């Protein structure tokens, strides 16, 4: 039985993987970093603590990880305020599921960006609990962020469903013991191995209904 539903954010409700990529790559070039094609995929799912350290140690930015984090978040917030890249059907999908279950967010985004997205989209009232991976010990694919979302919602993880788009996110929700509904990200699709962990795979948010959640 499903008692709550937890949504990912980036790549699922907002089309931001490319924005994160552009912002971090431009910062790397500005400050003499060594950007590579694998950098974006490497950082998908990482917490802010993890990816800012990656930018410092692997990409080679001289700034401290905390400063890198602040610079990236500032630029991301500017992009969101200019034009929030909500995916088609995101608001309607959330409202459909919120009509039946309490909802949470389990995101790799920084707290300030989660709150800004939910405010700008008008979706803040739909979510009872939100968790940033910067608030837990480990980012995705570790289960920490989903386990904390379930705790804040007051439900057992095995009685919750997660809606995810990425390899790291699917692995995270599965490791937490949740029912996993995958809506693969079109720009950075998950591989066959993580998709095999999902209980159901959908083509788009338009297919996300209480019936697909309940199974």
Greater confidence, 186 or 145? 145
pTM, to two decimals: 0.91
Give the domain extent around 61.
17-82
Number of domains in the chain: 2
Residue that terminates a domain, selected from 82, 108, 131: 82
Residues 101 and 176 in one domain: yes
The whole-number average pLDDT for the span 25-54 is 89
The whole-number pLDDT of residue 82 equals 96
Average pLDDT over residues 55-81: 95
Last residue of a domain, one of 62, 82, 102: 82
Question: Are residues 151 and 62 part of one domain?
Answer: no
Q: How confident is the model at residue 41 (pLDDT cuts 50, 70, 90)?
A: confident
What pLDDT does residue 40 have?
81
Asked if residue 188 has pLDDT above 80, the reply is yes
Cα three-residue angle 61-78-206, rounded to 5 degrees: 105
Q: Are residues 45 and 104 in the same domain?
A: no
Mean pLDDT value of segment 94-114: 97
**Residue 213 near residue 178, CB atoms below 8 Å:** no
145: CB partners within 8 A, 6+ apart: 106, 107, 108, 131, 132, 133, 135, 136, 139, 172
Whether residues 70 and 115 share a domain: the answer is no
The reply to whether 21 and 61 lie within a common domain is yes
Domain harbouring 25, CATH code:
1.10.150
How confident is residue 193, by pLDDT bands cut at 50, 70 and 90?
very high
**Cα-based distances in Å from 137 to 149, 193, 197, 215:** 13, 25, 23, 31
pLDDT at res. 138: 93
Question: Which whole number is the average pLDDT over 88-99?
Answer: 98
Domain boundary pick from 44, 63, 82: 82
Strand intervals (E) in the chain:
4-7, 103-107, 127-132, 160-164, 179-182, 200-201
42 in Cβ contact with 141 (< 8 Å): no
pLDDT: is 98 or 17 the higher one?
98
Centre a 10 Å sphere on the Cβ of residue 56 and count the other Cβ atoms it contains: 19
Mean pLDDT of 103-110: 96
The answer on 210 and 183 residing in a single domain is: yes
Give the pLDDT confidence score for residue 187 in this predicted structure. Answer: 83
pLDDT tier at 60, thresholds 50, 70, 90: very high
């Amino acid at each position: 039985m499903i008692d709550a539903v937890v949504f990912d954010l980036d790549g699922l409700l907002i089309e931001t993987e490319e924005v994160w990529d552009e912002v971090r790559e431009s910062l790397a070039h500005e400050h003499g970093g060594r950007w590579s094609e694998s950098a974006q995929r490497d950082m998908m799912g990482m917490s802010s603590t993890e990816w800012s350290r990656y930018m410092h140690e692997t990409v080679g930015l001289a700034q401290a990880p905390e400063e890198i984090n602040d610079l990236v978040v500032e630029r991301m917030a500017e992009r969101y305020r200019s034009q929030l890249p909500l995916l088609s059907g995101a608001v309607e999908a959330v409202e459909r599921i919120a009509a039946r279950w309490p909802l949470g967010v389990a995101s790799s985004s920084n707290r300030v960006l989660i709150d800004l997205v939910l405010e700008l989209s008008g979706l803040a009232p739909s979510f009872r609990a939100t968790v940033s991976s910067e608030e837990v010990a480990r980012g995705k694919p570790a289960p920490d962020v989903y386990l904390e979302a379930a705790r804040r919602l007051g439900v057992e993880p095995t009685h919750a469903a997660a809606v995810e788009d990425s390899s790291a996110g699917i692995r995270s929700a599965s490791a937490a013991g949740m029912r996993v509904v995958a809506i693969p990200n079109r720009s950075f699709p998950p591989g066959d191995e993580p998709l095999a962990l999902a209980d159901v795979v959908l083509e788009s948010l338009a297919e996300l209904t209480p019936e697909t959640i309940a199974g």
